[in-house]
């Protein structure tokens, strides 16, 4: 029996010192051996008598350690089978792969990925002033359990602002505050399921994590192509909803044409489906007045979604949805299972920014800054990379650079750019079938801080000019 323990090949590092007594040290050693895989599920352990003799401790010490680890689930005790390492549940497979462009981890060199505004432009002074105002004037009751749909103050401010700035037709009772657009989409999908919906369509190309989220929520996902006029509406069929970015399609940057708008709303009216309007950067249009929200044309069929992520900063995690009357009750039901609420103080601060006019002033400053950057990007590409074609530049915070097909793969181009010190997004990532994508880059010209934009742009065009042959 003594040899049996040795033949198991176990080498347990036991810690006996001021931090661990005999029993605690044995528990710790066995627990760590199970965690790191040195003791795999099903491995038999020696009897308490044998292990006590080998370690020269009392049998009671070993028995107590075994009992504790059985109680914790690390070991299993079965009659006539002795002590074995317990089976452990397999890790659940990851069902949603996060987009690096969405999570945007820090990178070295020039960062020109899409998905961020210039964070150095965050209105710190105005935010601080609004915070002081809120803390001086807010009643004590706002710090209690509030309405899951959001602060009344923010919902009223959003209803006024969206009607004035985006042409949205709503009242505060149809506005829901969410913790970012992903949270908003999750709630919408859940509300669709509450109503018996079973399918949803997305633009192709589009942000793939949103498609994955809808599938995770149990909806059948279809992919509708986008051309120069936006979503190809006649490819829709019997979906319960379709998610679109009509003001500035993400990532291609086209605007849904007036004819397609009419066709899309006609489809929704005929089929009873909902249109989910993701107005992620609708405030930023440079060559004319911003295109009004689609929701204003059919408030009973369009779910309008907006966010502070592009206008102020994504770290605020403030977004909103405006829903038709038919979805108010299902959405409230969906929120009953969700605890992803936005901090009430930040809601009130954002409401104060809207009411004081500071948000409008901030947006005007940003439009000037981003338009200037867009123009510099266009001039640099025209001068240094004349074979490239920029599109999607009438609005937003990014542009698409389409390059001639010379046989150079997108992945090889991205690696070359990274080695040259610049990080951008490839267009293929956004396509349902990446092989269908042209050779192109999604350039987030708003992302770098102001002082670093010139160097980032110079690095990009130099690397594109010297890109490797096919």
Judged by average pLDDT, the poorest of 221-225, 233-237, 406-410 is: 406-410
Report residue 459's pLDDT band, with 50, 70 and 90 as the boundaries.
Answer: very high
| Whole-structure pTM value | 0.78
pLDDT over threshold 70, residue 167: yes
Domains of the chain in start order, with CATH, are 2-85 (1.10.10.10), 100-117+361-465 (3.90.1150.10), 123-357 (3.40.640.10)
Q: How far apart are CA 140 and CA 162, in angstroms?
A: 28
Q: How many CB atoms lie within 10 A of CB 110?
A: 22
Per residue in 286-339, pLDDT (tens digit) is 877 677 899 999 999 999 999 999 999 999 999 999 999 999 999 998 887 776
Residues 6+ apart with CB under 8 A from 93: none
Question: Residue 28 and residue 101: Cα distance in Å, rounded?
Answer: 41
- Residue 5's pLDDT band (cuts 50, 70, 90): very low
pLDDT at 106: 59
Q: Is the pLDDT of residue 391 over 90?
A: yes
Region 406-422: what's the mean pLDDT? 91
Confidence tier at 201 by pLDDT (50, 70, 90): very high
Cα distance between residue 170 and residue 163, in whole Å: 7
Checking if the pLDDT of 9 tops 70, the result is: no
> Cβ(178)–Cβ(320) under 8 Å?
yes
Residues 75 and 30 sit within 8 Å (Cβ to Cβ): yes
- What are the phi and psi torsion angles at 303 (to 5°)? -95, 115
Task: Report the residue count for the chain.
Answer: 470
Distances (CA, A) of 117 to 114, 413, 446: 9, 25, 5
What separation in angstroms does the CA of 219 have from each of 101, 201, 210? 24, 10, 12
Q: According to the model, what pLDDT value does residue 12 have?
A: 57
Spatial contact of 467 and 413, defined as CB atoms under 8 Å apart: yes
Range with top average pLDDT, 102-111, 118-127, 277-286: 118-127
pLDDT band at 47 (very low <50, low <70, confident <90, very high): confident
Please state, in angstroms and rounded to a whole number, the distance separating the CA atoms of residues 40 and 51: 18
Q: Decide which of 93 and 182 is more confident.
A: 182
- Reported as a single tens digit per residue, the pLDDT across 93-121 is 444 344 444 455 556 678 999 989 999 99
pLDDT tier, 406 (very low <50, low <70, confident <90, very high otherwise): confident
Q: For residues 306 and 178, is the Cβ–Cβ distance under 8 A? A: no
């Amino acid at each position: 029996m003594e040899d049996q323990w040795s033949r198991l090949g176990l080498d347990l590092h036991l810690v006996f010192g001021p931090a661990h007594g005999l029993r605690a040290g044995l528990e710790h050693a066995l627990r760590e051996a199970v965690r790191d895989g040195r003791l795999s599920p099903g491995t038999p352990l020696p009897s308490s008598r044998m292990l006590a003799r080998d370690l020269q401790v009392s049998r009671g010490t070993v028995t107590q350690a075994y009992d504790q680890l059985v109680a914790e689930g690390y070991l299993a005790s079965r009659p006539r089978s002795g002590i074995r390492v317990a089976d452990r549940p397999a890790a659940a497979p990851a069902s949603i792969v996060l987009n690096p462009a969405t999570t945007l981890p820090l990178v070295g060199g020039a960062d020109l990925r899409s998905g961020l505004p210039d964070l150095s432009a965050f209105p710190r002074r105005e935010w601080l002033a609004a915070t002081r105002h809120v803390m001086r004037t807010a009643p004590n009751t706002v710090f209690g359990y509030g309405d899951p749909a959001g602060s009344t103050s923010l919902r009223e401010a959003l209803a006024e602002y969206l009607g004035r700035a985006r042409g949205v037709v709503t009242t505060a009772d149809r506005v829901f505050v969410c913790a970012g657009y992903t949270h908003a989409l999750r709630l919408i999908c859940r509300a669709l399921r509450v109503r018996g919906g079973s399918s949803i369509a997305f633009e192709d190309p589009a942000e793939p994590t949103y498609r994955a989220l809808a599938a995770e929520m149990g909806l059948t996902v279809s992919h509708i192509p986008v051309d120069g006029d936006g979503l190809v509406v006649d490819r829709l069929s019997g979906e319960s909803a379709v998610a679109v970015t009509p003001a500035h399609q993400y990532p291609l940057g086209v605007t849904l044409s007036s004819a397609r708008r009419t066709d899309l709303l006609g489809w929704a009216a005929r089929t009873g489906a909902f249109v989910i309007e993701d107005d992620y950067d609708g405030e930023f249009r440079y060559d004319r007045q911003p295109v009004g929200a689609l929701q204003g044309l059919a408030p009973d069929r369009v779910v309008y979604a907006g966010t502070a992520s592009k206008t102020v900063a994504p770290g605020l995690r403030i977004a909103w949805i405006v829903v038709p009357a038919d979805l108010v009750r299902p959405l409230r039901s969906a929120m009953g299972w969700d605890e992803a609420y936005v901090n009430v103080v930040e809601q009130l601060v954002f409401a104060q920014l809207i009411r004081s006019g500071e948000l409008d002033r901030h947006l005007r400053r940003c439009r000037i800054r981003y338009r200037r950057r867009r123009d510099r990007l266009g001039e640099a590409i025209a001068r240094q990379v004349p074979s490239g074609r920029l599109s999607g530049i009438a609005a937003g915070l990014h542009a698409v650079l389409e390059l001639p097909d010379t046989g150079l793969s997108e992945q090889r181009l991205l690696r070359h750019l990274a080695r040259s010190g610049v990080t951008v997004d490839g267009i293929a990532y956004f396509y349902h079938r990446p092989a269908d994508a042209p050779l192109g880059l999604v350039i987030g010209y708003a992302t770098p801080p102001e002082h670093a934009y010139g160097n980032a742009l110079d690095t990009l065009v130099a690397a594109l000019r010297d890109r490797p042959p096919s």
